[in-house]
């Protein structure tokens, strides 16, 4: 189920990846090889590798418009 959820995100979509250890990673899912998820961090260079079994949930990063200050 988690694999399918990760595969459904497009490669240019930024997501939050929550791990069972309490870590939160932000980036784009670039590929899934066996049980390893490869994520490209927002800086475009840093590669994050996470074991699929260590992921508790994934959520898309939603850009919310900023409200102007009064």
Domain ranges of the chain: 2-60
Beta strands in 1-70 (DSSP E): 14-19, 24-33, 36-40, 47-51, 55-60
CA dist 28 and 38 (Å) reads 8
Q: Which CATH number fits domain 2-60: 3.30.465.10, 2.30.30.520, 3.40.50.720, 2.60.40.10?
A: 2.30.30.520
List the structure tokens of 52.
């699929």
Q: What is the pLDDT along the chain (70 residues), one digit of tens a residue?
A: 888 888 888 888 999 999 999 999 999 999 999 999 999 998 989 999 999 999 999 999 886 666 777 7
Question: What global pTM score does this model have?
Answer: 0.80
């Amino acid at each position: 189920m988690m694999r399918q959820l990760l595969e459904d995100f497009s490669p240019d979509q930024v997501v939050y990846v929550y791990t069972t250890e309490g870590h939160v990673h932000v980036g784009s899912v670039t590929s899934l090889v066996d049980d390893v998820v490869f994520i490209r961090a927002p800086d475009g260079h840093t590669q994050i590798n996470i074991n699929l079994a260590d992921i508790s949930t994934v959520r898309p990063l939603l850009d919310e418009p900023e409200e102007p200050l009064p």
